[in-house]
Amino acid sequence: MKKLKEMGVRALIVSIDDFHQEFIHRDRVINVIRACKEIHLEVKLQFVATKSSGRLADFLHEHGDDLLNIECREIPCHPVGRASFKIKDESLFTTKGVPQGLCPSSVMSISAYGKVIPCCNTAGHLPSLEVGDISQSIIPLHKKFLKDPIFNLLRLKGPKAFYESAINMGYNPREDGYIDQCHLCYDLFKNNQLAEELKDFAAENFEHELYETYLEEYTNNYSQILNMNNKESNTSNHSL
């Protein structure tokens, strides 16, 4: 841990849950947390849960003393990687309907395989959303990440912006619904052909969506100013 800190690591996220514990004993994770605390390196704990797995509350109950002053977060399991074939749909925390949230953490990242990816969340590792790889220069990749209509539309409106068009392109929505917006993002972009069509859709529609969003913001702000002015003039009329 000391060496990592000396090399510039500023924070660490460690995972513990039924799935990680198959490979890494929980004592080792607790030891990492203790070591981080000792050298004042920021550490957070992440716990992936399903309806049928262990839960963070139980873990906190057993290891609460070691976790004092540590940010602990329980996150719902998404059906990707091993979970796509090991976890039954009924164990996932899905909600019917289309997730309305915006893209929550679009941060250009480097995967363990050297891929430059748009986020570390569910859809971030999909080949269809790859920005490039580490053999390429980072500055043009970052420009691409910032300018690409697909990432911009995801940031501006969230994956829901693609939902209706995807259905028109043949996408079958999940009957049980989705866990969150990142699950919808994954489901939309996991099919390469559909992903390509959605990229074209983003290229054609992003500027219009941006214009609509600014117009809406401007109209809302303008109405607020008008309301404030009306209130002020009413107050001064009363005081006359």
Nearer to ligand SF4, 33 or 182 (CB): 182
Min dist. Cβ of residue 168 to ligand SF4 (A) = 20
Q: Which stretch binds ligand SF4 (CB under 6 A): 54-62, 178-186, 202-210, 223-231?
A: 178-186
104 binds ligand SF4 (CB under 6 A): yes
185 binds ligand SF4 (CB under 6 A): yes
3-state SS, 62-79, equals HHCCCCCCCEEEEEECCC
Helix (H) or strand (E) holding 43: strand 42-49
154 binds ligand SF4 (CB under 6 A): yes
Classify burial at 123, counting beta carbons within 10 Å of its beta carbon; exposed 0-12, middle 13-18, buried 19 or more.
Answer: buried
Question: What type of residue is 43?
Answer: V
Residue written as token pair 């976790």: 67
Q: Please, which of residues 117-146 interact with ligand SF4 by CB under 6 A? A: 118-119, 121-124
Residue 161 DSSP label: G
Nearer to ligand SF4, 122 or 165 (CB): 122
Contact (CB, 8 A) for 73 and 98: no
188 binds ligand SF4 (CB under 6 A): no
182 binds ligand SF4 (CB under 6 A): yes
Q: Which stretch binds ligand SF4 (CB under 6 A): 23-31, 116-124, 167-175, 214-222?
A: 116-124
108 binds ligand SF4 (CB under 6 A): no
Rounded Cα–Cα distance for residues 110 and 116 (Å): 5
99 binds ligand SF4 (CB under 6 A): no
Nearer to ligand SF4, 29 or 123 (CB): 123
**Measured in whole angstroms, how far is the alpha carbon of residue 148 from the centre of its chain?**
18
CA angle, 154 then 159 then 161, to 5°? 90
Quick one: angle between helices 192-239 and 181-189, nearest 10? 150
Nearer to ligand SF4, 21 or 109 (CB): 109
Q: Which stretch binds ligand SF4 (CB under 6 A): 19-27, 74-82, 114-122, 228-236?
A: 114-122
Min dist. Cβ of residue 112 to ligand SF4 (A) = 17
Helix (H) or strand (E) holding 117: strand 115-117
**Measured in whole angstroms, how far is the alpha carbon of residue 31 from the centre of its chain?**
28
Kindly list the residues in this chain that would bind ligand SF4 in the complex (CB under 6 A): 103-106, 118-119, 121-124, 154, 159, 181-182, 185
